[in-house]
């Protein structure tokens, strides 16, 4: 298996633009997580899905952020409109059957909002 796949790896955009980050979890994994990592705030869990259903989105910073998982092999994290303070590395991770199973992280998307 190729592991968790994220695209793009790097994204540079201007303030106010819409940004869409993509993730393909490991095949057969029921859980998918979106994290954000910054120097100031460290690693934060934004939202996670179980069998494509959002379970906890309490970490989503504000309404500008939204996440979807239309099927078991694809998820998106969208920021609209983007702001400079959204600049961070966004990681997607997946785990087999429980939040307490080993989470495998993707390579991350480095987002820079100018």
Partner 1 sequence: GENVEQHPSTLSVQEGDSAVIKCTYSDSASNYFPWYKQELGKRPQLIIDIRSNVGEKKDQRIAVTLNKTAKHFSLHITETQPEDSAVYFCAAKGNNDMRFGAGTRLTVKP
Tell me the C-alpha distance between 66 and 46, whole Å: 10
The residue among 30 and 56 lying less far from partner 1, judged by its C-beta, is 56
Task: Choose, by CB under 8 A, the member of 82, 94, 103, 109 that binds partner 1.
Answer: 103
The residue among 32 and 45 lying less far from partner 1, judged by its C-beta, is 45
Burial 94-112 (b: 16+ CB within 10 A, else e): bbeeeeeeebbebebbebe
Residue 59 engages partner 1 in binding (rule: CB under 8 A):
yes
Task: Choose, by CB under 8 A, the member of 8, 12, 28, 55 that binds partner 1.
Answer: 55
The residue among 5 and 72 lying less far from partner 1, judged by its C-beta, is 5
Task: State the residues that interact with partner 1 by CB under 8 A.
Answer: 33, 42-45, 55-56, 58-59, 91, 99-100, 102-103, 105-108
């Amino acid at each position: 298996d190729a592991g968790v796949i994220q695209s793009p790896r790097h994204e540079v955009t201007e303030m106010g633009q819409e940004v869409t980050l993509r993730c393909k979890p490991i095949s057969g994994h029921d859980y998918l997580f979106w994290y954000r990592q910054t120097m100031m705030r460290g690693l934060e869990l934004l939202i996670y899905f179980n069998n494509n259903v959002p379970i906890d989105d309490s970490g989503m910073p504000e309404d500008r952020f939204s996440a979807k998982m239309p099927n078991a092999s694809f998820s998106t994290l969208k920021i609209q409109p983007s702001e400079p303070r959204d600049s961070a590395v966004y990681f997607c991770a997946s785990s087999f059957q429980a939040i307490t199973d080993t989470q495998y992280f993707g390579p991350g998307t480095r987002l820079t909002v100018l």
